[in-house]
């Protein structure tokens, strides 16, 4: 009986304690909490790196396509020799890769 009366008189203090616990738990954990923030930040940085890599590959492919469209004979000769392993009898082919 005394506990119930004590709780009635200290409602505001109990409410503040539970409210503070609720706010602190959701601030650290939860879908919008601190852990989620760092996880999303890590994912964002990985995607930024992947974006830079894909952009550089795209520029490289666009350059190669422009060389083929413009009929750059040196590049076409290089492709022909690389893909078909073509060389004349007096050439020595050394593969570096």
* 22 and 43 together in one domain: no
- What is the pTM (predicted TM-score) of this model? 0.58
* The pLDDT of residue 27: 86
* 8 and 51 together in one domain: no
R_g over Cα of the chain: 34
Give the distance from CA 90 to its chain's centroid.
50
Which domain covers residue 57, as residue numbers? Answer: 34-87
* 10 and 41 together in one domain: no
* 43 and 80 together in one domain: yes
What is the rounded average pLDDT for all residues in the chain?
A: 86
92 in a domain, yes or no? no
97 in a domain, yes or no? no
What residues in the chain have per-residue pLDDT under 50?
A: none
Q: Are 78 and 84 in contact (CB under 8 A)?
A: no
93 in a domain, yes or no? no
């Amino acid at each position: 009986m005394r506990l119930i009366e004590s709780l009635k008189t200290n409602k505001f203090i109990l409410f503040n304690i539970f409210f503070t616990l609720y706010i602190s738990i959701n601030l650290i954990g939860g879908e919008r909490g601190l852990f989620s923030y760092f996880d999303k930040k890590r994912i964002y940085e990985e995607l930024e790196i992947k974006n830079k890599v894909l952009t550089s590959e795209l520029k490289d492919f666009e350059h190669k396509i422009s060389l083929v469209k413009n009929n750059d004979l040196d590049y076409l000769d290089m492709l022909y020799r690389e893909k078909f392993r073509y060389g004349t009898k007096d050439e020595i082919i050394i593969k570096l890769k």
